[in-house]
Structure 1
């Protein structure tokens, strides 16, 4: 169990790192005319993702570690983190935990975005299943997956609508263009 506690703590630290990157990227996006969409579901997302970490620890304290399952799921957790940070790197300052789009900017079509529209959400789904199952927390994995499916249904619809609207608009003038 100490290894699992350390793993959950590392994932928690990773989440904090994401928030730091997101805050920096939010400032960049706002400076470039970015607008936020779909804010209504964001607080639920924060609570759900925070609850995942707590629930993993609570349930795992009552479950055995099954090596064949645990090590396989740990490999998936690592793969999910790699995919997430690949998405963050490819999107650069356009990546955020919120839905922020800049009118007129084209969609990113490189990295994992060559093959799918929302690879970061694939990482989220993988992690939501695998992280609890590292220590056999199957109730947490199932509950998070069901709740997250509803959240992603709302979020992807909001993101797609925001992107479609932003693509149809002209980009706002930059500070250099206004001078």
Structure 2
């Protein structure tokens, strides 16, 4: 498969992903109203994802002949990584329902969810998003620079967001959430 075909497939995947996510959001999860705990994390994560995707496309467009592109087997791997990353993202959204919000906020009816992917890690949707955007960056840029820049940048942004979110949830949900924190990892079991 030619590199431009992977770019096209990656771009098509991005469009489908971008359209599917808002359709899956229910109730207050569609709101963009930010609570006091958000601390700009929504803007940070969203802006960073847009910059990574735009930079990856620009990198592909500005490609210099003679500079090697990713081999086909690597592109197939990133395509599969994207496909597999979308599954836990949408699974997380489905399990949390209206509590899977774009911005940080807590509703009066919110409870600690311990089912689905949340039985293993506290932020599976964020891990899936980091993987999906990093895979997009590789497919769209057709270079290792896309994921090498995306992964640490997104990781840092989500560590910031998780800190704000966990403070919010511990404050709102009290001992139930603090107990949940002792039994699960944030993003990567055994590491973080």
User: Shared topology, TM-score over 0.5?
Assistant: yes
What is the rounded CA distance, in whole Å, between the counterparts of 1:136 and 1:7 in structure 2?
10
Are residue 11 (structure 1) and residue 38 (structure 2) matched? no
What is the rounded CA distance, in whole Å, between the counterparts of 1:92 and 1:105 in structure 2?
11
Is this contact kept in 2: 1:76–1:126, CA < 8 A? yes
Is this contact kept in 2: 1:19–1:97, CA < 8 A? no
Unaligned runs of 5+ in 1: 170-179
* Cα distance, 1:37 vs structure 2: 2.4
What is the rounded CA distance, in whole Å, between the counterparts of 1:80 and 1:130 in structure 2?
9
Which residue in 2 is equivalent to 1:57? 57
Are residue 48 (structure 1) and residue 52 (structure 2) matched? no
* Cα distance, 1:36 vs structure 2: 5.6
What is the rounded CA distance, in whole Å, between the counterparts of 1:136 and 1:89 in structure 2?
32
Is this contact kept in 2: 1:36–1:98, CA < 8 A? no
SS state of the match for residue 107, structure 1? coil
For residues 9-39 of structure 1, give each alpha carbon's deviation from its aligned partner in whole angstroms, at most 9, with x where no partner exists.
43144224434555843468x8xxx956214
Is this contact kept in 2: 1:101–1:163, CA < 8 A? yes
Give the alignment's Cα RMSD to 1 decimal: 2.8
What is the rounded CA distance, in whole Å, between the counterparts of 1:21 and 1:79 in structure 2?
17
Q: TM-score, normalised by structure 2?
A: 0.73
Which residue in 1 is equivalent to 2:189? none
Are residue 100 (structure 1) and residue 105 (structure 2) matched? yes
Which residue in 2 is equivalent to 1:67? 72
Which residue in 2 is equivalent to 1:175? none
Unaligned runs of 5+ in 2: 176-192
Q: TM-score, normalised by structure 1?
A: 0.78
* Cα distance, 1:133 vs structure 2: 2.5
What is the rounded CA distance, in whole Å, between the counterparts of 1:3 and 1:27 in structure 2?
31
SS state of the match for residue 105, structure 2? strand
What is the rounded CA distance, in whole Å, between the counterparts of 2:36 and 2:92 in structure 1?
19
Are residue 25 (structure 1) and residue 28 (structure 2) matched? yes
Matches within 5 A, 1:131-150: 131-134=136-139, 136-150=142-156
